[in-house]
Structure 1
Amino acid sequence: MKTYIKVVFFLIILVPSLGFGQAIKNGKLYLNEDGSHYVKLTLNTQIWMRAGEYNPGSTIFGSPKKGGVDIGIRRYRVQFMSQITDRVFVYSQFGENNFNNIADRKQGFFVHDAMADYAVIPKKLSLGGGLSAWSGLARFASPSVGTIMGIDAPLFQQSTNDVTDQFLRKLSVFAKGKLGKLDYRVAMAQPMAIQKSAGYNAAITTNSSFSGLPPKMQWNSYLQYQFKEQESNQTPYMTGTYLGTKKVFNVGAGIVYQAKAMNHIGDNLKDTVQTNMLQIAADVFYDAPLKEDGSAISIYANASHFDFGKNYFRNQSVMNPANGTGSGSSLNGSGFGYPAIGTGNVYYTQVGYKTKNNLIGKTSLMPYVSLQVSDLQKLQKPMTFYSAGVNWLLAGHTSKFTVAFENRPIFNNDATQMSRKTNLVLQYQVYLN
């Protein structure tokens, strides 16, 4: 069925424009006899249903709401890529994120990626540019969303997501390649205007915020040494788990730096102080089969240091089911939000175990746990976010159910922790790759 859908899609969309006679194989429309030049399309849909307790003071269009059930489309993506010549590769992606019942209608479909690169020295050095996710910091700053092990990626690694970039993608020029077992990416990005971000506030306070002045260039890099099998770096997106089909052991480190990106009012309460933005991280990734029966393990750990200036913090609230706060609100904001990113240190780990193949009929399971600890300057104590769940792999990542239990702390407006809240997430994914 999977192959049939791809064939029909290519026949309807691509073949009329490219001419007849090309072969379709391995999900690609071959442009030459050996398949080294090709065109490929992928599709990904992630549907969520959640139930849980909302943050104190949450409102939906002014109506107080303590909790509830919501349904939404977490992601819908279409990818187009083509190896046009031996040296020219082009990639684009478009789709929608976080569409729920309170989202704007008919406005969310947008371009995620539009980039091209040229292999100056094949495999060793490619140069490119455009709107892309060739970014720095850590492995899952650019996650392959169709292969995520848990309910979602560690989104704190996309620390400027939709603030000075477009859902993590940046207007940039980049270099990438492999030198032996060292995989590298380096990019110079032009930050997008903070004035165009959602909820922009021009006020400058004693707490740090992004400067409204024309931004300086941002520098990004991520290096990883791949001890075992080598991973593809054709696109910037890093695989979440290979489900036992590959043995990977990587150690990586990254950086994001932008001069005078932030500002705040100085101690004299008069002068505006500009400060640099610096992010550094190190991580390790191990993903490998355990036995010939298909069982596998996946382990990831990360330590990140963020310097956004004095007391900067940002709440994370994916596909927020509430859109306002009223009396009795907290530092967390509305809905399922919690302070995940800010000046300080963030630690993250996730561990998953894939059972043997054909555990339940022709399907298998992959339970996992993850923990994020955000030790932020703004907070009186570290923020700890827990998630535990299980994937029901109906056909690998192509068709899977994921159910996850999440637990988050609630902070008073004075940044002291007051309680914890929970929610349950059910996802169904279809990934045509």
Structure 2
Amino acid sequence: MKNKKLLQLVFFLSSFQFLVAQGSPDYNGGLKIKFDEDGKKYLRLISWAQVQATYNNDAPATSSKTSFNLRRARIMLFSQITDKFLILTHFGLNSLNAGTLSPTGKGDGSQLFLHDAWVQYSLSNEHAIGAGLHYFNGISRLNNQSTLNMMTLDNNRQSWATIGLSDQFARHVGVFMKGKFGKLQYRIAINDAITNGLDARPALSGQTVYGGANLLGTKDAGKTFAGYFEYNLLDQESNFLPFKVGTYLGGKKVFNIGAGFFVHPNGTVKLESGNPVGEDVSIFAIDAFYDTPLGDDGSALTAYATYQSNNYGENYLYSAYGTGNMIYSHVGYVFAGDKTKTRFQPYLSYGSNSYDATTSNRNVLGVGMNAFMSGHNSKLTLEYQHQDYGTSTSAVTLQAMIYL
């Protein structure tokens, strides 16, 4: 009986590692309503906002070079009445700016929407199944990235490789299973594909479009399959929730090697002799994540690298998506200092994307600095980003973030 209670306590405490192991000396678990004395029955609430000011020297002559953006405003709630059952709801909005504001707040860009809503049943202390609108994605760590604790200003855009094409804002409706075997963690999912995705182009000769579920029907193109597997060589990361930590600021010593996939049979369509023919979408990646303290003085190192193979069908190219390959990496260093005071973390990121449909690569360089006033719970980020894709664009963004 004592061993069972100990296991339950360890499970409960591990569920909050992603919240308390990120360098904040003030957070202490955040906003939680307990329904019993030992805290195993609870409702957990998280709220965060990210506000940006951007200077873009390449803005059109008719536009201001400086703009403001409510990048994210979110609320997440999850609750357990027993350690067997969990329900999670996550809603909010993204990128509210001059172009998406509406006069009375009723326009599409002004609306809150569901990011996640799923239920989960624990099969054991290490394995669980669930269903709903969920974020248990495949491919890579960055395709499962939390927006609470990114090291860079934002996630690498091309790592969210299906957003809006087969899903709703990187979330699918479907079933998932997650867990671990020793140091090996896994997540797998079978989902329905969206039938009204971003790529609404008609199927034309010589052009591949991502619209299989719409053009071919859900019988032939309605399901997607995803998985991500990672081996935790050092400290074990929590997999209680699907959101992966961007940097622990030296709060843990982590070295993970991962691999993942996303497959959508007949996900894209092209015309052959005037008839629509489906092509399979298959995306694979390998990656590595390292985060470690460098001593007792508060200094720390974070590094990440990934290679991703993107096959959306023959010569597919649409917006940020394209058949080809991607490499991406970032590295950051936390200067030594008192953890109860402001800490600084300069970082560097670089991504290169090649596409079969064009000889132009998309190369993106980011140079930035985080100022952590209370870990990730209160921070400022300043980043210069330069993108070269046929033409060159550059921007400088300052972001303020608070989460509770």
Superposed pair shares fold, TM > 0.5: yes
Correspondence for 2:96 among 96, 99, 105: 99
Give the equivalent residue in structure 2 for 1:118: 121
For 1:205 and 1:37, locate their aligned partners in 2 and report how far apart those are by CA, in whole Å: 58
Give the Cα–Cα distance (whole angstroms) in 2 for the partners of residues 54 and 272 of structure 1: 40
Partner of 1:355: 335
Q: Give, as a single letter, the amino acid of the residue that structure 1 aligns with 2:231.
A: Y
Alpha-carbon separation, structure 2, partners of 1:376 and 1:410: 11
Give 1:187's aligned residue: 189
**What is residue 337 of structure 1 aligned with on the other side?**
none
Q: Does 1:344 align with 2:347?
A: no
Tell me the amino acid that sits aligned with residue 108 of structure 1.
Answer: Q
Q: Is the 8 A contact 1:144 1:237 kept in 2?
A: yes
Which digits, 9 at most, give the CA deviation of each residue in 1:151-197, with x for residues without a partner?
00112121121222111011010000011000000100101113xx3
Is 2:252 the counterpart of 1:272? no
* 1:232 counterpart letter in structure 2: S
Q: Does structure 2 conserve the Cα–Cα contact (< 8 Å) formed by 1:204 and 1:263? A: no
Structure 2 unaligned regions, length at least 5:
1-27
2:243 aligned residue: 237
Q: Are residues 205 and 353 of structure 1, via their aligned partners in 2, closer, same or farther at CA, if it must alter by over 3 Å?
A: farther
Displacement after TM superposition at 1:198 (Å): 4.7
Bigger Cα displacement from structure 2, 114-123 vs 97-106: 97-106
How many residues are aligned here?
365
Provide Cα deviations, 1:296-321, integer angstroms capped at 9, x if missing partner.
00000000001001221233xxxxxx
Q: Does 1:428 align with 2:400?
A: yes
Q: Which residue of 1 aligns with 2:112?
A: 109
103-112 vs 149-158, which moves further? 103-112
The whole-number CA distance in structure 2 between the counterparts of 1:205 and 1:103 is 34
CA contact (8 A) 2:202 2:209 kept: no
Q: Tell me the amino acid that sits aligned with residue 207 of structure 1.
A: Q
Q: TM-score, normalised by structure 1?
A: 0.81
Does the aligned pair in 2 maintain the 1:97–1:108 contact within 8 Å? no
Q: Which residue number in structure 1 is paired with residue 294 of structure 2?
A: 290
Distance, in Å, in 1 between the alignment partners of 2:278 and 2:165 is: 18
Aligned residue for 1:395, secondary structure, equals coil
In the other structure, the counterpart of 2:179 is 177
Tell whether the 8 Å contact from 1:341 to 1:374 is kept in structure 2 after alignment: no
Please list the CA deviations of residues 348-385 of structure 1 after superposition, one character each: whole Å capped at 9, or x if unmatched: 000000111239x9211000000010011122132211
What residue in structure 2 maps to residue 313 of structure 1?
317
Alignment of 1:22-37 (within 5 A): 27-37=31-41
CA distance in 2: counterparts of 1:165 and 1:409, whole angstroms:
28
Q: Which amino acid in structure 2 is aligned with residue 401 of structure 1?
A: L
Cα pair 1:54 1:65 within 8 Å, conserved: no
Give the letter aligned to residue 216 of structure 1.
Answer: G
Q: Which residue number in structure 2 is paired with residue 87 of structure 1?
A: 84
After superposition, the Cα gap between the structure-2 partners of 1:199 and 1:279, relative to the gap in structure 1 and judged at 3 Å, is closer
* Partners of 1:27 and 1:290 in 2: CA distance: 31
Q: Post-superposition shift, 1:273?
A: 2.6
Deviation at 1:204, TM superposition (A): 3.0
Q: Deviations over 1:104-123 (max 9, x none)?
A: 53342111100011011222
Corresponding residue of 2:207: 207
Summarize the alignment of residues 36-51 of structure 1 with structure 2, pairs less than 5 Å apart.
36-51=40-55
| Matched-pair contact (CA < 8 Å) for 2:201–2:209 | no
Is the Cα–Cα contact under 8 Å of residues 181 and 226 in structure 1 kept in the other structure? yes
1: distance between equivalents of 2:313 and 2:234?
A: 39
Aligned counterpart, 2:5: none
The counterpart of 1:250, out of the listed 248, 253, 256, is: 256
Contact 1:141 1:155 in 2 (8 A): no
Sequence identity of aligned pairs in percent?
31
Q: TM-score, normalised by structure 2?
A: 0.86
Letter in 2 for 1:43: S
Q: Return the alpha-carbon distance in structure 1 between the equivalents of residues 198 and 190 of structure 2.
A: 24
Which residue of structure 1 aligns with residue 8 of structure 2?
none
